[in-house]
Structure 1
Amino acid sequence: MNFRFAIISDPHVAVPHTIWNHPHRFHLVEVSILALERVLNHLEQLNLDFLLLPGDLTQDGEPDNHNWLQKRLQSLPFPVYVVPGNHDIPSLSPTERTIGFQEFPSYYRHCGYGEDHLYYSQEILPGVRIIALNSNQFNGEGKQLGCLDEAQLTWLEELLPQVKDQLLLVMIHHNVIEHLPGQTHHELGQRYMLDNAPLLLKMLRSAHCQLIFTGHLHVQDVAYDQGIYEITTGSLVSYPHPYRIIEVKRPPHSSLTLNVTSHRVDSVPGWENLGAISRQWLGDRSFPFMVKLLTASPLKVSVEEAEKLAPFLRDFWSDVAAGDGLFDFPDFPPPIRQYFQQFSAIKADGTPALIDNQAVLNL
């Protein structure tokens, strides 16, 4: 079993006339088309077996953006598989600006969707199966949630025993395994987590599934929990503008290995120093976010102290997003210093665990 595939996450495609400015927006949708074309041009030169896009395909679910993307994906020389992100179907019903929840599959019939469900499964190579899940739901008040609905769970429960002898690649937008310290319960991190993640993990373990691919968080991170790796890929329109190429190999009489290689879009026309520009963009918008992080549980720093510390954290989120970060702020009070050290890519024995960007994972 040898194959190669790529991952592009959260490209937030925005054709020019749909772009709207938001003063607190962290990502640069202005470069979405340029960056995506740069990546696709690279991938088209490789002998890829398929491409995964784990959600937030568009800026905010605009029909023109879905139309542009589905046509571009259809022109590629390899299959593409997608799932919706929260930005792709931001409302249950269509509006003047966005498509509705049930319309999404009709745009991506050539990207995995054979029916009108927002989830699907296919054997995409001999012995290799994609299980594409929809983590976007709405409550009675129309508020968007990150969870799997009962119908999808029932479908998955029936499917897994039939396919557990295959290599299962699960793709879903929301995170299933934590990528940040205390993410499940943190007021800033939990909205990126799947609400019923423990249930999904239990089901996947019963089927010997070892691989989950997610997006949403806009960071490069590889997390591991009780036999399952979750590879989340940063946003193509946010620092460091990453994408991944993964080679899967199973030599005779040996275990399966994943060779994970990450690439970055460092420049596009008109944005020749894209990495530096987007890092500064994030830094310029970091102050309110860092104050919120410092004043939230578990730190609960006073606003006055948070405003003093926040400037030292100007590039903190950029470094988290880049993956493989090693953090220490020795001038911070000990409890606060220890909190931020937890974000470091460190093993239990204190040595660096630099697997977020380049890694060989043995299954």
Structure 2
Amino acid sequence: MELKFKFAIASDLHIALPETVWDHPSRFHLVEFSIPALEVVLSHLAQLNLDFLLLPGDLTQHGEPDNHMWLTARLRQLPYPVYVIPGNHDVPTVESMDCFAPYYRQFGYKNPSRLYYDCEVLPGVHLIGLNSNQFDADDGQIGWIDRVQLDWLESVLSRVSKDKLVLVMVHHNILEHMPGQASNPLSKRYMLDNADRLCQLLHQANVKLVFTGHLHVQDIAYSDRFDLYDITTGSLVSYPHPYRVLTYERDRDAERLSIESYRVEAIPEQPNLQHFSREWMGDRSHLFMLNLLTKPPLNLPSAIASNLTPHLRYFWANIADGDAEFSFPNFPTNAKKYFEAFSDRPPADNNAILRL
């Protein structure tokens, strides 16, 4: 069946009304710019003939009711359907898990008693929205798809017609977007702990496209083992403030997904948002990089690590930007090898054509 449609993705909006902004001297997120940044995106998307918009989690700063209500009111004004899922910031406590879905009845959650859903978004296109937010025995947040949800997913995949295109949206990453992401203590919290089980189910059903957020970077990861793409989109409140417009096409001879990425370049509050935001991230990079250098696997002495951090001022910003290339010729051998391994691998992260 021939098929063509266009959709957009904006992730990790972290919507915060001015009176709700939570400030902290070391925060990376420019939540005070969340609403004007979103308005820039929506203004651009209004010029396109979109079929729908996906928002893969962290819709609000910390799950504040006022921020949920502002966002739902704004989304109701849009001329195309919008589908959302919760991120860890939207359900920060066990008690808040029951509060999310009722806000978003018009945006996927026709059954507000659970945090996952499936629906036909277009003829021949089926969307599955998953909830990857769970809590451990100490009420700490983890990325996990519970047994009940996995059973439900298996049932959904078994009944969806094989000639339909299935798209999956989940907040936590299911494939590694950087070396050692699943094992490094600083990055594994951005991954789904039982990602392998989810990938197996999707592979068995010939699902190839998964859209994630959470990590705040532009990256497209591919698994040969599962023949699966994890397309993660950076946050609208951190550098480089990206969003994506995607076009899917299928004819008798080929199936492809064309991806174009854009950035919020300016807002009224900050006419040079890209420069301001990159410097904001760089100014806060020292402690983060020091932690990375002194913890496993590098375990460098603090004195050596402190001498290296100035050279890593924009390291995370470059990763977040996507398509990064790194060279650290003057670093110690183990650090040089470690950081240069973060150079991007195909496919490209921002603008790509995926042959499915």
Is the shorter-chain TM-score for this pair beyond 0.5, marking a shared fold?
A: yes
Instruction: Report the counterpart of residue 319 of structure 2 in structure 1.
Output: 320
**Secondary structure of 1:17's match?**
helix
Instruction: Report the counterpart of residue 79 of structure 1 in structure 2.
Output: 81
Q: Which amino acid aligns with 1:250?
A: R
In the aligned structure 2, how far is the partner of 1:139 from the partner of 1:21? 27
Instruction: Report the counterpart of residue 48 of structure 2 in structure 1.
Output: 46
Q: CA deviation at 1:162?
A: 1.2
Instruction: Report the counterpart of residue 238 of structure 1 in structure 2.
Output: 238
Q: CA deviation at 1:164?
A: 5.6
How is 1:175-254 mapped onto 2 (pairs within 5 angstroms)? 175-226=173-224, 227-251=227-251, 253-254=252-253
Q: CA deviation at 1:270?
A: 1.9
**Secondary structure of 2:99's match?**
helix
**2:14 is the counterpart of 1:18:** no
Q: CA deviation at 1:207?
A: 0.2
Q: CA deviation at 1:139?
A: 2.3
Q: CA deviation at 1:203?
A: 0.4
Structure 1 runs (4+) greater than 6 angstroms displaced: none
How is 1:256-267 mapped onto 2 (pairs within 5 angstroms)? 256-267=255-266
Q: Is the 8 A contact 1:164 1:209 kept in 2?
A: no
Q: Which amino acid aligns with 1:221?
A: D
Q: CA deviation at 1:275?
A: 0.4
TM-score (normalised: structure 2): 0.97
Q: CA deviation at 1:159?
A: 1.2
Q: CA deviation at 1:59?
A: 0.5
In the aligned structure 2, how far is the partner of 1:22 from the partner of 1:291? 19
Q: CA deviation at 1:140?
A: 3.0
Moved more, 241-250 or 291-300: 291-300
Percent identity, aligned pairs only, is 55
**2:137 is the counterpart of 1:140:** yes
Q: Is the 8 A contact 2:28 2:281 kept in 1?
A: yes
In the aligned structure 1, how far is the partner of 2:137 from the partner of 2:185? 22
In the aligned structure 2, how far is the partner of 1:150 from the partner of 1:257? 33
**Secondary structure of 1:222's match?**
strand
Deviations 1:121-163 (A, max 9, x none): 0011111111100000112322111101111011011111112
Deviations 1:308-360 (A, max 9, x none): 111110000000000000001111012211111111114xxxxxx36100000
Instruction: Report the counterpart of residue 146 of structure 2 in structure 1.
Output: 149
In the aligned structure 2, how far is the partner of 1:192 from the partner of 1:354? 21
In the aligned structure 1, how far is the partner of 2:282 from the partner of 2:120? 43
**Secondary structure of 1:269's match?**
coil
Deviations 1:36-79 (A, max 9, x none): 01101111221100000000000110000000001101110000
Structure 2: gaps spanning 5 or more residues? none
Instruction: Report the counterpart of residue 104 of structure 1 in structure 2.
Output: 100
**2:293 is the counterpart of 1:311:** no
Q: Is the 8 A contact 1:164 1:208 kept in 2?
A: no
Q: Which amino acid aligns with 1:241?
A: H
In the aligned structure 2, how far is the partner of 1:223 from the partner of 1:138? 27
Structure 1: gaps spanning 5 or more residues? 94-99, 347-352
In the aligned structure 1, how far is the partner of 2:108 from the partner of 2:156? 16
How is 1:152-167 mapped onto 2 (pairs within 5 angstroms)? 152-163=149-160, 165=162, 166-167=164-165
Deviations 1:224-246 (A, max 9, x none): 00210110000001000000000
